[in-house]
Structure 1
Amino acid sequence: MNRTKTYGLGGLLILLLGMISIFEVSGQDRFELSLISRTKGKRIPEKTLEIKKTDANITIDGALDEAVWQTADKAKDFHRQYPMDDTTAFSKTEASILYDDNNLYVGVTCFDELPGNYIVESLRRDYQERNNDYLMLVIDPFDDLTNGYAFTITPLGVQMEGLITGGGGGFMAVSDSWDNVWYSKTKKTDEGWTAEIKIPFKSIRYADDISNWNIQFVRNDLKRNERSTWTTVKRQYQPTSLTYSGELKWDGTPPEAGSNISIIPYVSGSATQQDLSVNNNIGWDWNAGFDGKVALSTSLNLDLTLNPDFSTVEVDRQQTNVTRFELFYPERRQFFIENSDLFSDFGFRQSQVFFSRRIGLSSPMIFGARLSGQVGDGLRVGFLNAQTKHQMNDGFDDDPAYNFTVASFKKQVFGRSNISGIFAMKQGINFSNDQDDGFDFGDQNEYNRVYGLQYNLLSRDDKWDGSFYYFNSDDPVHTSKHWAHGTSIRYNTRKIMAFWTHEYVAENFNAEMGFFPRTGYFTFGPFVRYSFYPDSKTISTHGPSFKADYFLDTNWEFTDKEMEAGYSINFLNSSRINVQWQNNYVKLFDDFDPTWQFKDGTEPLPSGTEYTWNSINTSYSSNSRRDFSFDIRAGYGGFYNGNATNISGTFRFRVKPIFSLAMNYSYNKIDLPDPNPSGDFWLVGPRIDLTFTEKIFWTNFIQYNEQADNVNINSRLQWRFAPVSDIFLVYTENFLPDGMVSKNRGLILKMSYWINL
């Protein structure tokens, strides 16, 4: 039998076995499944909150002085979720929710008996939750326990909104990149602080034919070092996990949002100087375009963009690369954010079929359209089309114009799990590699297509989750061995968290729109962690962990092995310490310079050579609630045929809530025997944030990357003069570190305005 065909059939078999595994449930799961059948698929929530329609005129001023708040149903008697989860919360909280024809209204009272100021690190939107006092509203408006929204507000009125996908129980439970229109105010009182929130129905997607949503309230009180939730959520799970949410019971069905069209036009002007070593000419330019949002129903949305400008998107934090592979950077552009799981959740984090950053970075994007949302009972769909233009690069190795198309679906099955499918196509426009036409597109393909299925397992109690996928690719060059399949499964209880993953990626699998740092490998490995919960006044949890990753080539010979044993301690004051021992084995399949500096007089590590080494790594994070805090990570040990030392981390200093300084740093020292390359290089990135008000922010980011031989300055002044409407002034410059010789610089002024039609 042909061996390569066996791999492909094996992938299908693994996918089917993974789907069947949903039925291998624990006794608790079997009880839940029988309970669901008796209640016609509806779980029995721990608590219920009634929402009623009001005709009152509610002024969003933070004061709950309207009479309707006194008669509204109240969510109260919160439970502690951290640092302990076996008692009611010490910080008392009450919340109510109302609606009218156009908006949801939330009224909250956060009682505070402790003296001292609230802990709010900044007035900037989209802050880090764990470093702030806050009240979070979580809603699941589809009653599917899988997707929802989070709206968060601090005692000083600073907003953060986010999307919840995958049930809200994962490590990245809430994506805070999403941005939309809502209103809120807070007020300090003798008993603590109060808040009023108004969320237009037009700002969210929801099912308007059901009378029950799921809802959760989460409060973080850093002065007391307590996180609490309205319904009980055990500490090993995320407080945003929708499976533990309560029920929001409507007095009818939610109103239709009505006409819901938004246009966000922008205009920008720029002055740039390029190649300053050759000339000092200033290039002037201006640009205009728009984004649009059209709600085709209360649950289905069409996003449009024409001539988008991403110049004011927050700059990436640079990374030092001593690996053989491409580094991953997250998506920050608003056009790609809403319902992004419909496009990006295919594969695993480091092996994705679709990675939106492939669009519009090397070649400018001309237009784009995204249709996404729910179209039926438990069925969500996504469709994306984007066009880039031909980018000239001095007449050689040009970037051709491409059209990008992605179609996907997710169908909920077996409770919270789902079956999903994707088709992604990258098609060259007027594509030619003929030198006679004046263009050279190098080894780029005229088209690339990837398609496949994935099953995502998510149990009703969050103990089990996992994914099982099978994908195929198609391009003009590769006619065989172009599939990939993978399995991941995680089991999470109070004391044990265990994880298993495997992937097989054939040597000709080619996902040009995705993120696959390498191909032609089979990898597998376990991870297990055991947690102790001591009766201690200083330690929250501690315990050992073990992780292993093994890589084999398609001839079933090992190319990489990594084993890691560690022990971690989490303290009640939010600090933590971790110690790890690592054993590594690598067989190089290409020549490799781990410094990535390619200096004259050195020779890279040759292809085919094998290396084994050991190293020790430690990390410590201090109490993040204090004005001065820090993280530090240090490692030392073998590295290929030599040794390596690395130190990295962050120092943070805050004058709350106006000023913050974060100093990110990384130092790597690589010592290899001659003539192999050695080197030591720093990456230093101070970031200074000034938040003058909750609407005016000034961010200054300086990055010195010795490995890349570059110093970058990015200064961004933002005025949010209206909801999701901004004026940006951005200055950026790149220098050669030696003598601080400027390479290029630019100044950009941009204004965007959200218009509801």
Structure 2
Amino acid sequence: MKTNFTISIILGILMLFQNAKAQDIFSPSEKRLSIRATSINDKMAIDGVLEEEAWSRADSLSDFIQIEPNQGRASENKTTVKLLFDKEFLYIGVNCFDKLGRGGIRVPDLKRDFDWRAHDTFAVCIDGFSDNRNSMSFVTNPYGAQKDYLSFDAVLFDSDWNGLWKVRTSITEEGWFAEFQIPWKSIRYAKGSGETQSWGINFLRLRRASNEISAWSPYPRSFSFNRMEYSGELIEIQPPTPSTNIQVNPYSLVSANRQMANNKFSDFDARYKLGGDVKWAINSNAIVDLTVNTDFAQADADVQVNNVSRFSVLFPEKRQFFLENASLFGPGLMADGNTSGKMQILPFFSRRIGLAQEGRPMPVDGGVRLVNRSLKQNFGLMAVRQRSYDTLPSANFAVGRYSKNLGKQNRLGAIATMKSTTGSHTNLTGGFDGFLRLGNSNSLNFMALQSINDNGTGKGFGGYSQYYYTSNSITAWWTESIVTKDFTTEMGFLSRTDIIGTNPGAVANLRGKYIPFKRFIRSLQPGVSTGWYHQASSKILLERELKLTPFWLEMQHGGFFGFDWSSQHQNLITSFIPLGVSIDPGQYDFQRYSFTAGSDPSRKVSYSLKYEFGEYYDGKLKTSDAALSIIPIPHISLKASISRNQFESVGINSDSRDVILYTLQGRLALNPRIQLVGLYQKTSQNGLDSYNARFAWEYRPLSYIYLVLNSRETLGDDYVSQTEQQGIFKVSYLKQF
């Protein structure tokens, strides 16, 4: 497929929809909506009932406007919000009326940091500095599950930040109530001496039964809820002067480990461990985190995947110490299958610390992190010491990050990383990056990196630039990236090396007159994406892909259905071995097709399906991914999935094999604070299986009791399976001073 032909398709889509202005982007209102919080001295019982007399004295707001599906219309279900405050807390009282009463409420599970688009949801975002750049969001569902995150320019998100706050809810025949209690110490705001302030604030509600999103202060539907220039104002608020704000979180742990050898388990090896974390908010801008004898026993287990592509798979970070403020330390290019193609360039990837190959934990002696965020600049420093283990040497890790805010929503920054391995070498990576918001719909971001080892090796360059356009009717992008042959970032992640990538594309969002059966179909989203990948050292073409999506249907209830066609050219210069199938070097041209479908994820029974088929190098491959979720009540959820790859006459030996990965996940929750979760996986490729079970009781806010059971089978050097089993009992306690 010629380059000019592909570009013509993309430009054609842009020209076709550039004049589609109906319900398109609008500018923020010059006169912002406002709400006043009422000062009280009353004692408040946080129970989700809102029966205290203080609530009757509070001002209220109720005129929510639809974001989806009909931007600009009044919400079809009333929502009222009231705000109170005293010397310690900000209180938010919410009544989400529902025409169907209890029958209209949808809640699939009670886990923390839930997928808000699958639940009935209420959210508040607060801009305590009134800079229209940064916000803190506090989110709940009708059963009181909590979700919170930080947003920076509505581009960077710390979705795994856990603030110290409380919410309780109740459900009635009218709908559901929520009562938030947020300590002043959990909110970042401008330093003062108790004087009156005005903050940016907005409220969002998702009514899942009708898949309607509404907000108090409206914003364009293609934008994020956290675009704070569209928010309203919380006026005449009087927070106290920020004071000493220290969180101490010690833990104690006992573990028992055993291994199987010659079909016989060894005796249990009992181990004891003490450690903890300290968080000191020096002021509204600066936070210091200390960790000693760090433990991550409570982190979710990784879910295995069967990878048949030529690029590495990035497993997400799940350990709390590294998740907080991850957005500051984590600039880079992330692959999403479209805007970045198959390229990932991350100068810092925290899973390089404390984890060996296959996700095996490594002992961490301790670490320190300093983060400072202000209106003008942001900077952070982190250093961690990893202890030696078995045959692996100890190592020291360090990362430094600085970014400068320019104008309303522009940013320039720099980053440097270092990994020093005892008895070996030191790897250094450094560079600069930037983000430019070119009007409401256009943005540009870029990064340039250099690496080198102290022994003179590993000297190389990596970087990217990306233009991005978004409106209600179309999304378009153009990404250029490069990683030279010797570029080495031992604290980062690269999906591939010695590569130059070019990835343009566009997706339309058709509504209104373009859509038949509007009762069932919300939007039609045809699109095109493409990628060219050349070897950086030789400039030869290694891979070319054109992907067309002639139709992708977003249904009114939240389900979807789509079809993709892709044409690929692969130039293998070395052997490629996906799932044990060896493919010779050479030139391969083939086409593949895929169907994707999914149902409303808030239903008691929901599913997702993807079936991909067609040619695959010198043979054929059918890939089936199916998942079924059963949620009889929000307290119980089960999810089973199967990933199957059927090779037909592929590779050197014309292999025809069937590789299946089975996954079973379950959750039993007495309430959002007492839960038992489990994960079981088995693959047919080698017959190995693994399971993880974790009981967690949050007996007070962010203080936990954990009981964890792990079992995993691996193949040793002699290809004989080995079994490792572990039991962990852990208690942590958080105290805020």
Q: What's the TM-score once normalised by structure 2's chain length?
A: 0.88
Q: Is the 8 A contact 1:605 1:676 kept in 2?
A: no
The verdict on how the C-alpha distance between 1:611 and 1:496 changes in structure 2, with shifts beyond 3 A counting, is same
AA matched with 1:543: Q
* 2:97 corresponds to which of 107, 111, 116: 111
The verdict on how the C-alpha distance between 1:721 and 1:679 changes in structure 2, with shifts beyond 3 A counting, is same
CA distance in 2, matches of 1:525, 1:324: 17
Q: CA deviation at 1:674?
A: 4.7
**Equivalent residues in 2 for 1:88-167 (5 A)?**
88-117=74-103, 118-165=105-152, 167=153
CA distance in 2, matches of 1:358, 1:664: 29
CA distance in 2, matches of 1:507, 1:143: 45
**Equivalent residues in 2 for 1:448-527 (5 A)?**
448-459=427-438, 461=440, 463-478=441-456, 482-527=460-505
AA matched with 1:546: V
Q: Secondary structure at the match of 2:367?
A: strand
The verdict on how the C-alpha distance between 1:228 and 1:174 changes in structure 2, with shifts beyond 3 A counting, is farther
Confirm whether residue 387 of structure 1 aligns to residue 370 of structure 2: no
* 1:539 corresponds to which of 493, 499, 521: 521
Q: Is the 8 A contact 2:459 2:488 kept in 1?
A: no
* 1:304 corresponds to which of 290, 307, 315: 290
Confirm whether residue 354 of structure 1 aligns to residue 348 of structure 2: yes
AA matched with 2:638: L
Q: CA deviation at 1:97?
A: 2.2
**1:711 paired residue number:** 689
Q: CA deviation at 1:673?
A: 5.1
**Equivalent residues in 2 for 1:172-251 (5 A)?**
175-209=158-192, 211-251=197-237
The verdict on how the C-alpha distance between 1:574 and 1:162 changes in structure 2, with shifts beyond 3 A counting, is same
CA distance in 2, matches of 1:137, 1:304: 30
What are the superposed Cα offsets for residues 509-568 of structure 1, whole Å, 9 maximum, x if unpaired? 111100112222111111101121035211100031000011111222211111100020
* 2:564 corresponds to which of 555, 561, 580: 580
CA distance in 2, matches of 1:112, 1:262: 39
* 2:552 corresponds to which of 564, 568, 576: 568
Q: Is the 8 A contact 1:144 1:378 kept in 2?
A: no
AA matched with 1:313: A
* 2:418 corresponds to which of 418, 422, 425: 425
Confirm whether residue 665 of structure 1 aligns to residue 632 of structure 2: no
AA matched with 2:434: Y
CA distance in 2, matches of 1:325, 1:543: 27
Q: Is the 8 A contact 1:415 1:459 kept in 2?
A: no
**2:258 paired residue number:** 273
**2:271 paired residue number:** 285
AA matched with 2:363: P
**2:723 paired residue number:** 743
**1:46 paired residue number:** 32
Q: Is the 8 A contact 2:505 2:527 kept in 1?
A: yes
Q: Secondary structure at the match of 2:525?
A: strand
The verdict on how the C-alpha distance between 1:279 and 1:192 changes in structure 2, with shifts beyond 3 A counting, is closer
Structure 1: gaps of 5 or more residues: 1-25, 37-42, 394-398, 433-445, 599-603
What are the superposed Cα offsets for residues 168-191 of structure 1, whole Å, 9 maximum, x if unpaired? 3x5xx7554222321122233453
CA distance in 1, matches of 2:635, 2:237: 43
Q: CA deviation at 1:682?
A: 0.7
Q: Is the 8 A contact 2:458 2:488 kept in 1?
A: no
CA distance in 2, matches of 1:741, 1:509: 36
* 2:589 corresponds to which of 594, 609, 612: 612
**1:438 paired residue number:** none
CA distance in 2, matches of 1:561, 1:320: 22
What are the superposed Cα offsets for residues 691-747 of structure 1, whole Å, 9 maximum, x if unpaired? 12222111111011234642011111111111111111111112479xx98712111
CA distance in 1, matches of 2:219, 2:457: 51
CA distance in 2, matches of 1:627, 1:251: 42
**1:12 paired residue number:** none
What are the superposed Cα offsets for residues 176-213 of structure 1, whole Å, 9 maximum, x if unpaired? 42223211222334533222111112223332259332
The verdict on how the C-alpha distance between 1:310 and 1:743 changes in structure 2, with shifts beyond 3 A counting, is same
Q: CA deviation at 1:381?
A: 1.1
Q: CA deviation at 1:107?
A: 1.3
Q: Is the 8 A contact 1:664 1:684 kept in 2?
A: yes
Confirm whether residue 684 of structure 1 aligns to residue 652 of structure 2: no
Identity between Structure 1 and Structure 2 (%): 27
CA distance in 2, matches of 1:575, 1:666: 21
Q: CA deviation at 1:256?
A: 2.4
Q: CA deviation at 1:373?
A: 2.7
AA matched with 2:224: Q
CA distance in 1, matches of 2:426, 2:457: 13
AA matched with 2:635: I
* 1:83 corresponds to which of 45, 66, 69: 69
CA distance in 2, matches of 1:589, 1:311: 42
User: How large is the Cα RMSD of the aligned pairs?
Assistant: 2.5
The verdict on how the C-alpha distance between 1:100 and 1:115 changes in structure 2, with shifts beyond 3 A counting, is closer
What are the superposed Cα offsets for residues 192-243 of structure 1, whole Å, 9 maximum, x if unpaired? 3222111112223332259332211111112333221111122222334333
Structure 2: gaps of 5 or more residues: 1-18, 336-343, 357-361
CA distance in 2, matches of 1:473, 1:409: 18
What are the superposed Cα offsets for residues 291-349 of structure 1, whole Å, 9 maximum, x if unpaired? 11011102211111111111220111111111233211111111112221110123445
Range that drifts further, 183-192 or 311-320:
183-192
The verdict on how the C-alpha distance between 1:311 and 1:549 changes in structure 2, with shifts beyond 3 A counting, is same
* 2:329 corresponds to which of 343, 351, 354: 343
* 2:244 corresponds to which of 259, 262, 272: 259
CA distance in 2, matches of 1:712, 1:178: 29
Q: Is the 8 A contact 2:565 2:592 kept in 1?
A: yes
Q: CA deviation at 1:642?
A: 1.0
The verdict on how the C-alpha distance between 1:71 and 1:174 changes in structure 2, with shifts beyond 3 A counting, is farther
AA matched with 1:502: E
What are the superposed Cα offsets for residues 631-678 of structure 1, whole Å, 9 maximum, x if unpaired? 000000111111111000311011111211111220011221552554
* 2:542 corresponds to which of 554, 559, 565: 559
CA distance in 1, matches of 2:432, 2:652: 49
CA distance in 2, matches of 1:533, 1:416: 30
Q: Secondary structure at the match of 2:63?
A: coil
Q: Is the 8 A contact 1:500 1:527 kept in 2?
A: yes
AA matched with 1:700: G
**2:407 paired residue number:** 414
Q: Is the 8 A contact 1:163 1:338 kept in 2?
A: no
Q: Is the 8 A contact 2:251 2:730 kept in 1?
A: yes
CA distance in 2, matches of 1:347, 1:655: 40
Q: CA deviation at 1:480?
A: 8.1
**2:45 paired residue number:** 59
Range that drifts further, 267-276 or 286-295:
267-276
Q: Is the 8 A contact 1:585 1:613 kept in 2?
A: yes
Q: Is the 8 A contact 2:209 2:557 kept in 1?
A: no
The verdict on how the C-alpha distance between 1:237 and 1:147 changes in structure 2, with shifts beyond 3 A counting, is same
